[in-house]
Amino acid sequence: MSEATSIKVLIVDDSAVVRQTLSEILGSEKDIEIMGTASDPIIAAKKLEKEIPDVIILDIEMPRMDGLTFLKKLMQQFPIPVVICSSKAEEGSQNVLNALDYGAVEIIRKPQLGTKQFLTESRLRIADAVRAAHMAKTRKFKPKPEVSAKLTADAVLPLGKEHVRIETTELVVAVGASTGGTEALREVLEALPVDAPGMVVVQHMPEHFTAAFAKRLDSICSVGVKEAENNDSVLRGRVLIAPGNKHTLLKRSGARYYVEVKDGPLVCRHRPSVDVLFRSVARYAGKNAIGIIMTGMGDDGARGMLEMHQNGAYTIAQDEESCVVYGMPQEAVKRNAVDLILPLNRIAAEILKSDKRK
């Protein structure tokens, strides 16, 4: 891909190893170009005076000026898409969520030395995060770059013919989101009352950040929000957030819905995967479910939503105008998997309206 059409990236991190690793990972992608690197925000600011990148990868803890302060200043002057690159340390999770509030559009884990699988998965996630950030700026879809083959939900939950046989009227809501989803989910969940239908959510985030994300939502919403743990019951007034780096599936025992949290390969290059959740909901909840697909790049969730739709679930997609990136909803619409397209500010009301019809 030519320089005129490549995504120009500036990497800002005080670790020389991280700068080198990110440069090697992204530099190997045909549609991405490393514009430069900086060891702290002061050096980055000087580089911005000469050239503006399409995407900035930004660490949080750095000398001379921290990443959050730089992000605030940056958004006031140059609204450049920013990807936060942070370590998995729990203590940094709150700062990462603050960065999303300040305008960052994606989160990736800071690269670590490790197994070939970890490095391969990191490569996919980092490159996709940069592409998603770039789309969040332009809000236009470009020809898809050459990428590695993606596994489907078959890798975690094989497609079967098992359907719900025990009658129940309890409604389950399954939600999938990616880029821009943290803010979108907040708006939906804040509008739900304390007795809203039980909900399971897959938001593409790295591990160790989903717990802090759930805790923040719990503090501002009427519904209870927690990071999902294996065997957690899906109950009215409770929202379960799939933990980062784990697939989360809906299961059923009699009239009780619960979740299974498990390892597995990347599905649609994600773990957790929306497709995996939606397939399990199609199988175990059927017509007793609502599926909602929200802002995000790619097609994770589109196939699973079609399976939900075919099994009688009511399916909703966020509209293009209110999406940060109209990728996942668009793919679901293309597959004729969606019953209703709604702006973000009407999704909560539709959930409650559907609940009353049960």
Q: For residue range 92-127, what is the model confidence (pLDDT) as tens digits?
A: 567 888 888 888 999 887 766 665 666 667 888 899
Residue 8 has pLDDT above 80, yes or no: yes
Q: For residue range 252-270, what is the model confidence (pLDDT) as tens digits?
A: 998 899 999 999 999 998 9
The amino acid sitting at 320 is E
Residue 166 has pLDDT above 60, yes or no: no
Residue 2 has pLDDT above 50, yes or no: no
**pTM of the entire structure?**
0.84
Residues 308, 197, 218: CA angle, nearest 5 degrees = 115
Residue 163 has pLDDT above 90, yes or no: no
DSSP string, 140-208: ---PPPP------GGGTS--------S-----EEEEEE-TTHHHHHHHHHHTS-TTPPEEEEEE---TT
User: Which two tokens mark 165?
Assistant: 């046989």
- The one catalytic residue in 204, 247, 270, 309 is 204
Least trusted range by pLDDT, from 133-147, 200-214, 344-358: 133-147
3-state secondary structure of 242: coil
Using an 8 Å Cβ cutoff, are 170 and 255 in contact? yes
pLDDT band at 282 (very low <50, low <70, confident <90, very high): very high
Q: Which residues contact 175 (CB under 8 A, 6 or more apart)?
A: 185, 188, 199, 200, 201, 202, 291, 292, 293, 294
- d(CA 311, CA 98) in angstroms, rounded, equals 39
pLDDT band at 144 (very low <50, low <70, confident <90, very high): very low
The amino acid sitting at 205 is M
- d(CA 81, CA 55) in angstroms, rounded, equals 5
What Rg value do the Cα atoms of the chain yield, rounded?
A: 20
- The one catalytic residue in 13, 300, 309, 322 is 300
Query: Catalytic annotation on 134?
Result: no
The amino acid sitting at 211 is A
Q: How confident is the prediction for the chain on average, in pLDDT? A: 87
Helices 93-102 and 210-220, axial angle in degrees (round to 10): 60
Residue 200 has pLDDT above 50, yes or no: yes
- d(CA 32, CA 276) in angstroms, rounded, equals 29
pLDDT band at 156 (very low <50, low <70, confident <90, very high): low
pLDDT at 18: 87
Residue 159 has pLDDT above 80, yes or no: no
- d(CA 176, CA 199) in angstroms, rounded, equals 11
Instruction: Name which of 348, 357, 322 is nearest 173 in CA terms.
Output: 348
- The one catalytic residue in 39, 86, 178, 322 is 178
Q: For residue range 50-75, what is the model confidence (pLDDT) as tens digits?
A: 999 999 999 988 888 988 899 988 98
3-state secondary structure of 237: coil
Q: How far is CA 352 from CA 196, 236, 299, 315, 321, in A?
A: 7, 12, 27, 14, 23
Q: Which residues contact 347 (CB under 8 A, 6 or more apart)?
A: 188, 292, 294, 316, 318
Query: Catalytic annotation on 178?
Result: yes
Query: Catalytic annotation on 299?
Result: no
Higher per-residue pLDDT: 166 or 201? 201
Q: Where are the beta strands (DSSP E) in the chain?
A: 7-12, 32-38, 55-58, 82-86, 106-109, 172-177, 198-203, 224-227, 238-241, 247-253, 256-262, 289-293, 314-318, 340-342
